[in-house]
Amino acid sequence: MNNITVLGVPLDHNSSYKRGASSAPAKIREALYCDSSNLWTEDLRDLGASPGWQMGPDLDLLDEESALNLIEAEVEQLLQKDSHVIGLGGDHSITLPIIRAYTRLYPQLNVLHFDAHPDLYHELDGNQYSHACPFARIMEEKLVVRLVQVGIRTMTGHQKEQVDRFGVEVITMKDIGRVRGLSFDGPVYLSIDLDCLDPAFAPGVSHHEPGGLSTRAVLEIIQGLKGVVVGADIVEYNPDRDNNGVTGMVAAKLLKELLAKMLA
Ligand code: MN
Ligand code: MN
């Protein structure tokens, strides 16, 4: 893959508990270009000197009513120009419009979803587009052929019914060893909710859920993944909750290694 756009998606009005994720894209960029580190990836690629990817703009999403449609249209336009997309959220509601656009080009799309939460609620607080609902919509609309969730540790009765109804594959934290040997036949989209990580590694999220993945474990899964990664998002970074910007550095690190995976 030699044309990737990193797209800022500063939206947090679909968050159920705390807002703040809309300031994440700018903070992740700041962390990426911070002089405390460099732009080399672990497979020895200098992103600072690599053509093949560009830092795109932040979308203007101030009109909440039209925001999801605007994200979908923008991603569709990039895909038509042969550019793949890494979306920087924003809350997790941004994944639905991105996948809606992707599925037109990739009707056989697989999704690997990292999260503490299944995000399969039919609705939350009367909002079907809540950040707790995107994967219910994605499965209802039959946008993907396979959804695998990793890191889950907040399953509820209702969401377990949704898992069974939609045939979602769930690798909970309790059974995280099953993640070894994961492989995909077709194109894969990675959706990374930073609360998949233990709050010890990533405190800058709205929903602290102990007992999660380490940063290294997520990197190992990405680096070892068997399948072609065609797009991704990093969501739910909430700079208001961060500790000395450490979670911003985690997001930037994941961005670098996602780029490495897609450019390889
Ligand atoms: Mn989550
Ligand atoms: Mn989520």
- Per residue in 231-255, pLDDT (tens digit) is 999 999 999 999 999 999 999 999 9
pLDDT over 90 (residue 42): yes
CA of 46 relative to ligand 1 center, distance in Å:
31
CA of 50 relative to ligand 2 center, distance in Å:
31
pLDDT over 90 (residue 108): yes
pLDDT over 90 (residue 181): no
pLDDT over 90 (residue 1): no
Q: What percent of the chain has pLDDT over 90?
A: 98
Residue 241: the pLDDT is: 98
Residue 103: the pLDDT is: 98
Q: Which ligand is nearest to the CA of 116?
A: 1
Cis peptide before 89 (omega within 30 of 0): no
Coil, helix or strand for 186?
strand
How far is 261 from 206, CA to CA, in rounded Å?
28
Helices (DSSP H) in the chain: which residue ranges? 24-32, 67-80, 95-105, 134-140, 157-166, 215-224, 246-263
Average pLDDT in the 207-223 region?
98
CA of 235 relative to ligand 1 center, distance in Å:
9
How far is 46 from 48, CA to CA, in rounded Å?
5
Which of 195, 68, 204 shows the shortest CA–CA distance to 130? 68
- For residue 110, list its beta bridge partners: 146, 188
Is residue 98 within 8 A of residue 144, CB to CB? The reply is no
CA of 236 relative to ligand 1 center, distance in Å:
7
Residue 137: the pLDDT is: 98
Residue 5: the pLDDT is: 98
pLDDT over 90 (residue 71): yes
The pLDDT-based confidence of 143 (bands split at 50, 70, 90) is very high
Residue 28: the pLDDT is: 98
Residue 163: the pLDDT is: 98
- Structural fold of domain 4-263: Arginase; Chain A (3.40.800)
Mean pLDDT of the chain: 97
For 89, phi then psi, to 5°, come to: -75, 180
Coil, helix or strand for 148?
strand
Average pLDDT in the 108-137 region?
98
- For residue 191, list its beta bridge partners: 113, 233
How far is 215 from 211, CA to CA, in rounded Å?
13
Residue 196: the pLDDT is: 98
- For residue 232, list its beta bridge partners: 86, 190
How far is 19 from 25, CA to CA, in rounded Å?
14
CA of 52 relative to ligand 1 center, distance in Å:
30
The pLDDT-based confidence of 213 (bands split at 50, 70, 90) is very high
